Amino acid sequence: MILKNQASESDEWQFGRGKLPIQAAFRRAGDIRPLLHAHRTLHEYFYIIRGELTVAVEDRRVRLRADDFLIVEPGERHTASEPSDDLLLLIIMERGREGDKVVY
């Protein structure tokens, strides 16, 4: 069992580093760097805990707000931008595989 009390209070919390098949990280406004990319085989999950964030997936832009959950499927080009100052985002995805990420 892995228990992280008050995990949302930490800037850079990750679990399973090298041990589990998934990775998770909290991100705040200052962590968001627009980078258009896709994953060949992995899904990427965005859960907005607090604040707002714009995510562009292919040709569609979506403004995510608290309690919104977005799944980006393999092969979909996506990027995040325009975070609100109070953003707290949880990103979950399978552990990266060599050559899976494609940057445009």
- Taking alpha carbons only, the member of 57, 94, 99 closest to residue 78 is 57
Structure-token pair, residue 56: 């562009």
- Give the model's pLDDT for residue 22: 79
Going by C-alpha positions, the residue among 25, 38, 74, 34 that lies closest to residue 53 is 34
Cα–Cα distance, 63 to 98 (Å, whole number): 31
Helix, strand, or coil here: 43? coil
Q: Which residues of the chain have pLDDT under 50?
A: 9, 11
Q: How far is CA 64 from the centre of its chain?
A: 12
Query: pLDDT, tens digit, for every residue of 80-101?
Result: 999 999 999 999 988 777 889 9
Ordered domains of the chain (ranges, CATH):
22-97 (2.60.120.10)
Do 94 and 21 form a contact (C-beta atoms < 8 A)? yes
Per-residue pLDDT, 96: 74
Instruction: Write down the pLDDT at residue 40.
Output: 95
